[in-house]
């Protein structure tokens, strides 16, 4: 009795596997892609491209409004290289302990109406806490 060749079955299974894997990779990259910009780059970009971005900058001394019981903050984010460029940020979540005026922060969110950046996440950068101590 001759053996049947299963080559077409293997080819179809391989194509289905590769197609499914390709779709998962494509959908994962397109949904979770976030642009990382500084403030001046964000201000130079069209507003429709700023719906899901991550911004880096410094918290300004003026107009810092903390929410009730550590929940949320509204502040001005300054460009690190060009302090003349700024953007107002509104964040409603839990504020990190290291957040203060002059701190370097990363916010993720989108630009809303009136030029207000609504942040979903707020992270502070604290390099001095993690730098190696000089013991001499």
**pLDDT value at position 3?**
65
Greatest mean pLDDT among 17-31, 66-80, 99-113, 121-135: 99-113
Q: What is the pLDDT of residues 35-62, one digit of tens each?
A: 778 888 888 888 777 888 888 999 888 8
| Statement: residue 113 has pLDDT above 70 | yes
Instruction: Assign residue 54 the CATH number of its domain.
Output: 2.40.50.140
Question: Are residues 39 and 18 located together in one domain of the fold?
Answer: no
Question: Are residues 21 and 40 located together in one domain of the fold?
Answer: no
Mapped onto helix, strand or coil, the DSSP state of residue 102 is coil
User: Which range of residues forms the domain containing residue 120?
Assistant: 34-130
**DSSP string for residues in 19-88:** HHHHHHHHHHHHHH--EEEEHHHHHHS-GGG-SSEEEEEEE-STT-EE-GGGEEEEEEEEPSS-TT-EEE
Across the chain, mean pLDDT equals 81
Residue 125 vs residue 29, higher pLDDT: 125
Query: Does residue 46 sit within a domain?
Result: yes
Q: What is the pLDDT of residues 17-26, one digit of tens each?
A: 999 998 888 7
Domains in the chain: how many in total?
2
Question: Are residues 8 and 73 located together in one domain of the fold?
Answer: no
Question: Are residues 18 and 71 located together in one domain of the fold?
Answer: no
Mapped onto helix, strand or coil, the DSSP state of residue 107 is strand
Residue 79 vs residue 128, higher pLDDT: 79
Query: Does residue 123 sit within a domain?
Result: yes
Q: Which helix (H) or strand (E) holds 129?
A: helix 127-130
Q: Which helix (H) or strand (E) holds 108?
A: strand 104-111
pTM above 0.75, yes or no: no
């Amino acid at each position: 009795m001759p053996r049947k060749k299963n080559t077409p079955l293997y080819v179809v299974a391989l194509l289905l596997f590769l197609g499914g894997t390709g779709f998962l990779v494509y959908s994962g990259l397109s949904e979770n892609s976030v642009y990382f910009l500084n403030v001046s780059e964000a201000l130079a970009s069209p507003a429709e491209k700023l719906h899901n971005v991550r911004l880096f900058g410094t918290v300004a001394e003026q107009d810092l409004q903390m929410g009730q019981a550590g929940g949320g903050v509204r502040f001005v984010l300054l460009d690190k290289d060009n302090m003349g460029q700024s953007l107002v940020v509104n964040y409603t979540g839990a504020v990190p302990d290291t957040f203060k005026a002059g701190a370097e922060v990363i916010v993720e969110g989108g630009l809303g109406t009136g030029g207000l950046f609504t942040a979903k996440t707020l992270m502070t950068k604290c390099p001095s806490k993690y730098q190696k101590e000089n013991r001499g």
